[in-house]
Amino acid sequence: MSTVKFTADHEWVQVTGTTARVGITQYAQEQLGDVVFVELPAVGATFAQGKEAAVVESVKAASDIYAPVSGTIAAVNTALPDNPSLVNSDPQGEGWFFEITLSNPSELDGLMDEAAYQAHIGA
C-alpha cells in the first residue's frame, strides 16, 4: 500500500514501504509551462530534507526540485532526459523524477495530505 504526501514547494511523494517516489504536482507543471529539460540526481547520492535534488527547466523558468525527505537516491526516471514533456503530460505518473530511500520516515509527518495541499494552492 502506498501513501501520497505533498510539500509546500509542489512536490508529491508516493511512499511505499521505505521508498518514496518524487515528482512535481499538476499545479506545478501548469505554472512552469512546457518542460524542456530535466536534470536528475545521481543514484546513490544522499540528500537532507529540503535540499536541491533535481532541476526542471521550462520555456518560462528553471526550478529546483527539493528532496521532500532525507535519504539516498535509489532510482531515477531514465525516460525524462530524452522526453522531459512527460512532466507535463503525466506529472503525477510517468513524469516522476526520482525514488529516495527514507533515512528518517518521521519527516513524512510534516508533509501535507491531498486535502491540505489543495487548500495550500487555493483549489
Q: Where are the domains of the chain?
A: 2-107
Query: Which burial class, exposed, middle or buried, applies to 112 when counting CB atoms under 10 A from its CB (0-12, 13-18, 19+)?
Result: middle
Please give the pLDDT value at position 2: 78
Residue-wise pLDDT for 48-70, tens only, equals: 999 999 999 999 989 999 999 99
Please give the pLDDT value at position 1: 67
CATH fold of the domain at 2-107:
OB fold (Dihydrolipoamide Acetyltransferase, E2P) (2.40.50)
What pTM was computed for the model? 0.95
